[in-house]
Copies of this chain bind each other. A is one copy, B any other.
Amino acid sequence: MKKTIIENGTFITMNEKTPVINGYMTMEGNRITYIGEQAPSPEATFDERIDGNGKLYMPGLVNTHGHAAMSLLRGYGDDLALQVWLQEKMWPMEGKFTAHDVRTGTKLSVLEMLKGGTTTFVDMYDHMNEVAEVAEESGIRACLTRGVIGLCSREEQDAKLEEAIQFAKSWHGQAGGRITTMMSPHAPYTCPPDYIERIVQAAHDLNLPIHIHMSETAREVEENINQYGARPVAHLEKLGVFSRPTLVAHAVHLTDEEIAVLKNHDVRVSHNPGSNLKLASGVARVPELLKAGVIVSLGTDGAASNNNLDMLEEIRLAALIHKGVSGDPVAVPAWDALKLGTLYGAQSIWLGDVGALKAGMKADFIALDMQQPHYYPRTNVISHVVYAASSRDVTDVCIDGRWIIRNNECLTLDEEKIKFEAQQCFERLTAG
């Protein structure tokens, strides 16, 4: 197995005791084998030596909620009321999406995510075989799920559930273990209770987690109460969702009691600050969730409601908005925000061996060009990454021990072809 050493780099480890190490990191195959201030033993030989001077290395970013194919609709409908945006812009276009569109949009998104330092992404969408194939080809790590909407006939429900089961079964553990899967009732408001129960049963049978949108808007919470006599958390708890390991997306509108229930069931929350702000959904109670001990991570949501897939931006938003909205300048400090985007991201999808730089962990890491003016003076690199860095500072991306981006260039995907095809898809979709 190939042995690599990075020398004289600055490493953010995500380890509480030694958060920043100036020194050396080695990897062998797909694992980190050493990280420390001292050079490894002089007898050790390496196939590749990398000069880490001026680079900032850190764990790859983990994007825990999104719909990659929606990048085809980036900028197609902004600054609209949510229902207008959905009903007049998104749904009519998404209804026309072919497997080819999903593949192309996903490629565009994966390219953008890789170039911006995201090494793992969660995706909930349709035509998921396309998404899985793009993940496999690109080298990215992915946790994928066919999101099913149950507002349809029993036959359609059956067919969708069967498709979701087949997808989850056939792709779980594939691409050398880079791909895992989940089961996804889309949301409490798009799936009748009995359908949710059947999906939960399937997740039990497959021994897989559940991913679901929950409590994104105040209106949705209100309607859940009107329709089912309970807020979404109690509703999903009653339907047995939380008997499975669960990742909920958004969770903007929560009561103290609901936060306690999520903590009790060890439910993980994907906080999507950019999308929640842009769609005017509100500001999630992240400081309270973290205080309660809930594992919170970050997601971009789809590029149509963000409008990029920039995880450093989500980390910064998480560090900034909760201070400004709560009035507490120590809410979500830089270190916590960085954990949301890395370590907690991995934990949110039950990956124990990514999200930190440590011997034995998988080699999922990124390098940032610290020679830009916004990294000076060298006061505190954690602060610089959270409050000053740009995703365009990312120069190199390594996933599962394989270099995917090197000197800003993607080695696995054809960037020019993807941009050309994405433009073609969009023009075809809007033409007729």
Q: How many monomers of this chain does the complex have?
A: 2
**Neighbouring B residues of A73 by C-beta, 8 Å:** 379
* Contact B324–A283 (Cβ < 8 Å): yes
State how many angstroms separate the Cβ of A207 from the closest Cβ of chain B: 36
State how many angstroms separate the Cβ of A350 from the closest Cβ of chain B: 29
With A and B bound together, what is the CA distance between A333 and B415 in angstroms? 31
With A and B bound together, what is the CA distance between A317 and B273 in angstroms? 11
* Contact A330–B81 (Cβ < 8 Å): yes
What number of A residues sit within 8 Å (CB to CB) of B? 72
Interface positions, chain A 296-334, Cβ under 8 Å from B, are: 303, 306-310, 317, 319-321, 323-331, 333-334
Judged by a CB distance under 8 angstroms, whether A224 is at the interface is no
Q: Which of A34-42, A108-116, A129-137, A241-249 contacts B (4 or more CB under 8 A)?
A: A108-116
Judged by a CB distance under 8 angstroms, whether A76 is at the interface is yes
Judged by a CB distance under 8 angstroms, whether A383 is at the interface is yes
**Neighbouring B residues of A419 by C-beta, 8 Å:** 371, 373, 376
* Contact A377–B330 (Cβ < 8 Å): no
State how many angstroms separate the Cβ of A49 from the closest Cβ of chain B: 25
**Neighbouring B residues of A384 by C-beta, 8 Å:** 74-75, 307
Per-residue CB contact flags for chain A residues 355-390 toward chain B (1 = under 8 Å, else 0) read 000000000000000011110111110011001101
**Neighbouring B residues of A372 by C-beta, 8 Å:** 112, 115, 392
Judged by a CB distance under 8 angstroms, whether A403 is at the interface is no
Judged by a CB distance under 8 angstroms, whether A188 is at the interface is no
* Contact B377–A74 (Cβ < 8 Å): yes
Q: Which of A142-150, A167-175, A420-428 contacts B (4 or more CB under 8 A)?
A: A420-428
Judged by a CB distance under 8 angstroms, whether A79 is at the interface is yes
With A and B bound together, what is the CA distance between A320 and B79 in angstroms? 10
Interface of A is mostly: helix
With A and B bound together, what is the CA distance between A54 and B326 in angstroms? 42
* Contact B280–A329 (Cβ < 8 Å): yes
With A and B bound together, what is the CA distance between A321 and B278 in angstroms? 8
Contact check: which of B80, B218, B274, B323 meets A330 at CB < 8 Å?
Answer: B80
* Contact B326–A280 (Cβ < 8 Å): yes
**Neighbouring B residues of A115 by C-beta, 8 Å:** 372-373
Task: Offer 6 A-B interface pairs, CB within 8 angstroms, sorted by A.
Answer: A75-B387, A79-B333, A81-B330, A306-B387, A307-B374, A373-B419
Residues of A at the B interface (CB closer than 8 Å) are 71-76, 78-82, 85, 108, 111-112, 115, 218, 274, 276-283, 303, 306-310, 317, 319-321, 323-331, 333-334, 371-374, 376-380, 383-384, 387-388, 390-393, 415, 418-419, 422-423, 425-427
